[in-house]
Amino acid sequence: MADLQRRNFPVIESTNANPVLGNARLEELTSWDANWAGLRVLVVGIGVSGFAAADTLIELGANVVVVDGKDTQETQAKAETLKIVGATEVLLGPAAMTQVPKVNGDPAELVVTSPGLRPDQALLADARQRGVQIWGEVELAWRIRQRAGRKPADWVCITGTNGKTTTVQMTETMLQAGGLKAIAVGNVGTPILDALRDPVEYDVLAVELSSFQLHWQYSLSPLAAVCLNVAEDHVDWHGGFHEYMADKARVYQNCQVAAVYNVADQRTLHMVEEADVVEGCRAIGFTAGHPEPSMLGVVDDLLVDRAFLDDRRNHAFELASVTDLKPVPTVHGVANALAAAALARAAGVSAEDVGHGLRSFEPGAHRIQPVAKTHGVVWINDSKATNPHAANASLSAFDPVVWIAGGLAKGTDSHDLVAQHSHRLRAVVLIGTDNANLVDALTRHAPDVPVIGALQTDSAGSAAPEDGDAVMRLAVNAALAVAQDGDTVLLAPAAASMDQFKDYAHRGDAFTQSVADVVERLS
């Protein structure tokens, strides 16, 4: 973007420019009413987004084959449903994921992939070799948003290593407080395609986008967008941190009104500087400190807007108080609220309604969620802290801490996290099966802090590593044994959950239930 001071960063250039151009038919498919009939499409994955993509394409009249690597009762049930509504074929099991099958006897013209599949997955690699375009759900959704007789909803898009779900839900609440028909969609749970097919004609979609989803989109042009922060995460999927950051930066491409960046994370500003945006799009910063003009920030414990007003050099709009944040005001929470406010203001919501929305917002579970207090010990569930950057936000909010941590590291490094917070650690209780880096970090930077392996403690029985619920019961009891009056027992694993749990929600639920059992036993 113009008029921003350049910094000494490498150029952010995605390696995923659409590899196949010149397919005249696909280039014409830019609305619901385009000629989708007979298009030969392979949908890869039958999960939430894959099912929605297949269902939508069938409704559009395409010939659709669906494949999924899992052959389970769940996938079989979904397969039967798709066959009933008109899928040409559904193939399940590992063998279905090796190469692109034919559709109605002819080569596929398009592959629509679920976001979790790595770009080097065998079938996707085969598609590229055959010269078949690959889209994600986001690309498909953007192309069909235009529909005769309906005004297309504006999109405000949220990505970042951490804070996406909270921010997209805050944004939804603020937009609704401003009288707009709005819904949070995307990585937050509701597929974008489902919202587009909803009888409700939405004014704005608040779209949470993961780096996986952004990797497979090419045409998106949001009204406003934000990358909340960037830290090492999913480097195994992307092939490196630079590649991960480049895919995050795709959220700003073709941005129309406001490209919102984090003043505290200069890499997000660099993304905005490098982005090819629509002429007139403004760079809007947010900061937990005092805001400069064209920023949102904090003045005397008030959240304020110095961006969306004419006399921004001399005045600011009051939005809300820091104490309005729930459940616990943190620097991370302030940043999320200001980012959401910037998106809502870009969509035309008044400062007063932004404040109303923030005060009425109820955060979801597993995000710095107080679950109990017993004998002076506060128990906090932040299972959503699936990487070190997220765990840093919650560790910063409490002192002293008995920290329950560990899981799938995903190639991340915990040394800086432990070094920064070693002074506040009473003890560390380890869960998970991929903790070599975390253990090394604790050994180097917190050598005097007791480290308790949940599977090694015999204070409350034993558990198999794969039995997440039993492991969590052991971890909670181990934490109880060392916690003192005034401590916080904090589940903020700094790692993914799928080694011992279905997902982060299962991990958080297991923690909450184990804590409830402790409270009942002690009461």
Output the known binding site for ATP: 160-166
Closest CA relative to residue 280, chosen from 221, 240, 233: 221
Q: Write b or e for each residue in 260-276: b if 16 or more Cβ atoms lie within 10 A of its Cβ, otherwise e.
A: bbbbebebbbbbbbbbe
DSSP code string of 434-476: --HHHHHHHHHH-TTS-EEETTT--BTB---TT-HHHHHHHHH
Q: Tell me the C-alpha distance between 122 and 137, whole Å.
A: 20
Question: Which backbone phi and psi does 509 adopt, to 5 degrees?
Answer: -65, -40
Positions at the binding site: 160-166
Residues with Cβ within 8 Å of residue 52, at least 6 apart in sequence: 137, 191, 193, 194
Residue 210 burial (CB count, 10 A): 20
Residue 155 burial (CB count, 10 A): 26
CB 287 within 8 A of CB 294: no
Q: Is the peptide bond before 465 cis (omega within 30 degrees of 0)?
A: no
Terminal CA-CA length for the chain? 60
Residue 181 burial (CB count, 10 A): 13
Amino acid in position 15: T
Q: Tell me the C-alpha distance between 34 and 346, whole Å.
A: 30
